[in-house]
């Protein structure tokens, strides 16, 4: 197993109309993270905004805010609120960073002090996927797991393209082409992986794992290097 792991935890995993399901998921997720910590691995979780971000951004738009920078800030606040919520589930962890770092620099400054760091967004212009990828680059982590609410990267948008099929393995360059690297993103909109982050991963040759975070056992397999259900994005050797 790697000695540091970065997990981008999609905000959609934290909220659902079925609160019982979320509570059960949380128990499994917390147990998994605790057992990985017990084996001496440092973990960084970057939490997404999910429903809360979408709701707050929609409300702001309704109130007449059109500036994307402002809307992104609202999204970032939602991600940090979710991160604070996730921190509450890990209060038993000895070397837990109880504060939500606001930047990658904040994380780097306190890197040696904590085994578990949980944060949200940083600056406008990208999503928490990008924060996770940036962080992985800075701390030299070789495992970035994008835990989202889809099982794989698909050949097309499965909501629009009935022939879209899941991809088990592809190169960073191929992911870049599929995810539309270079195209602008809309505040609050969701992609399988943020193209800004994909572009960064390509620049730094950072492999990625994309999977459905609802399935904690599958997440465990990915973390422990066992065969899992999801997409492996490989770099150049
Ligand atoms: P998310 O990372 O949650 O984006 O950030 P998402 O695509 O909705 O991902 P899921 O659904 O949680 O998986 C929510 C919004 O917050 C702003 C962006 O507007 C983003 O769409 N944001 C977030 C930033 O501007 N900068 C950040 O570092 C993080």
d(CA 15, CA 18): 8
pTM for the full model?
0.95
Question: Is pLDDT at 188 greater than 50 in this prediction?
Answer: no
CA distance linking residue 35 with residue 88, whole number of Å = 17
Find out whether 84 and 100 touch, Cβ atoms under 8 Å.
yes
**Quick check: CB of 211 below 6 Å from ligand 1?**
no
User: Tell me: the pLDDT tens digits for 106-156?
Assistant: 999 999 999 999 999 999 999 999 999 999 999 999 899 999 999 999 998
For residues 141 and 160, the model is more confident at 141
User: Facing residues of 212 across strands?
Assistant: 148
pLDDT of 67 higher than 90: yes
Contact 191, 128 (CB under 8 A): no
**Residue 113 has what DSSP assignment?**
G
Domains along the chain?
8-234 (3.40.1160.10)
* Main-chain dihedrals φ then ψ at residue 179, nearest 5 degrees: -90, 0
Phi, psi angles (nearest 5°) of residue 199: -60, -40
Whether 192 contacts 150, CB under 8 Å: yes
Taking the centre of ligand 1 as the mean of its atom positions, its distance from the CA of residue 207, in whole angstroms, is 21
Q: Is the CB of 72 under 6 A from ligand 1?
A: yes
């Amino acid at each position: 197993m790697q000695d540091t792991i970065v997990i981008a935890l999609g905000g959609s995993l934290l909220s659902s109309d079925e609160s019982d399901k979320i509570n059960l998921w949380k128990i499994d997720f917390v147990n998994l993270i605790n057992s990985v910590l017990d084996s001496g691995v440092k973990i960084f979780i970057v939490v997404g905004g999910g429903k809360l971000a979408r709701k707050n951004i929609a409300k702001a738009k309704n109130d007449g805010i059109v500036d994307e920078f402002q809307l992104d800030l609202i999204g970032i606040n939602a991600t940090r609120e979710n991160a604070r919520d996730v921190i509450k589930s890990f209060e038993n962890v000895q070397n837990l960073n109880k504060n939500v770092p606001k930047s990658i620099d904040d994380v780097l400054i306190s890197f040696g002090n904590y085994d578990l760091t949980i944060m949200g967004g940083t600056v406008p212009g990208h999503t928490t996927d990008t924060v996770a990828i940036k962080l992985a680059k800075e701390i030299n982590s070789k495992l970035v797991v994008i835990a989202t609410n889809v099982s794989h990267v698909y050949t097309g948008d499965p909501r629009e393209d009935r022939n879209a099929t899941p991809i088990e393995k592809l190169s960073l360059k191929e992911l870049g082409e599929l995810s539309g690297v270079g195209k602008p993103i809309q505040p609050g909109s969701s992609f399988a992986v943020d193209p800004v982050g994909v572009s960064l991963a390509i620049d730094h040759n950072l492999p990625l794992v994309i999977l459905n975070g609802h399935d904690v056992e599958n997440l465990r397999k990915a973390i422990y290097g066992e065969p899992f259900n999801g997409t492996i994005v490989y770099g150049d050797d």
